[in-house]
Amino acid sequence: MLLTSSEGKYLKAIYTLSAQGKEAVTTNAIAAQIGTKAASVSDMLGKLAEKELISYKKYYGVTLTEKGHKTALNILRRHRLWEVFLVDKLRFHWEDIPEIAAELELLDHPMLIRKLDEYLGYPKFDPYGDPIPDEFGDIQTKARVPLQDMPLEMTGKIAAVKDNSAAFLRYLDKMGIYIGARMAVLEKVEFDGSLELMIDNQRKVFVSREVAANILVQPL
């Protein structure tokens, strides 16, 4: 089963969107996600359904089939492995990598990916803390709690961010918040939902409710 790179783009978009809400993914949502028009999406959905990668009921959105799901996970695996490469080896800053990884992920060479994986030391999470599926599409999940829901005093590790935008990531950098950092919630401010954190047992940091909503913590 050969995929065009465009088909891959659609599968990834559908995967991402259905990971968010549980419902069938709508045409417009896909169009917005990949920056194209709804009409083009309808076109492509027909082709993907033809190949049995999605199940598609006209006017009622799409869901991935088993086959489509596997394929999407494989693309995601490639994407996230390249992201690790870019950050760990080439020393890219994490705000710059999604664009490049989006192109690298299109290369479908199983041997290349297997060797890359080995070379990187079989990483389980990408630089944003998102899990990297293995060859079989299995994902290793860790228990994760939104930062807002962490009880006071409980320690944890920053596990992932929900928002990968450059602006947000730059902000986190400036605050010294990074994936893997130790942290604890020192105080919750009632009236605006902001939090005071202790990072690495060293630095105290204030974050707003909006920021906290985009950070996931792995309790320790």
109 binds its own copies (CB under 8 A): yes
With contacts defined by CB under 7 A, name the span among 20-28, 79-87, 117-125, 139-147 that binds DNA. 20-28
Amino acid, res. 33: Q
Q: Give the range of 45-53, 97-105, 161-169, 197-205 binding its own copies by CB under 8 A.
A: 97-105
User: 58 near 43, Cβ under 8 Å?
Assistant: no
Choosing from 1, 2, 22, 59, the residue that interacts with DNA (CB under 7 A) is: 59
Joined tokens for residue 123 = 């990483």
Choose from DNA, its own copies, none: what does 43 bind? Cβ within 5-8 Å by kind. Answer: DNA
Closest CA to 123 of 83, 173, 164: 83
Structure tokens at 18: 């259905």
Q: Which range touches DNA (CB under 7 A), out of 12-20, 27-35, 72-80, 161-169?
A: 27-35
Residue 92 binding: pick among its own copies, DNA, none (C-beta 5-8 Å cut-off by kind)? its own copies
123 lies in the binding site for its own copies (CB under 8 A): no
Sheet strand arrangement including 215-219: 145-146, 215-219, 155-161, 182-188, 195-199, 203-207
Q: How far apart are CA 56 and CA 211, in angstroms?
A: 36
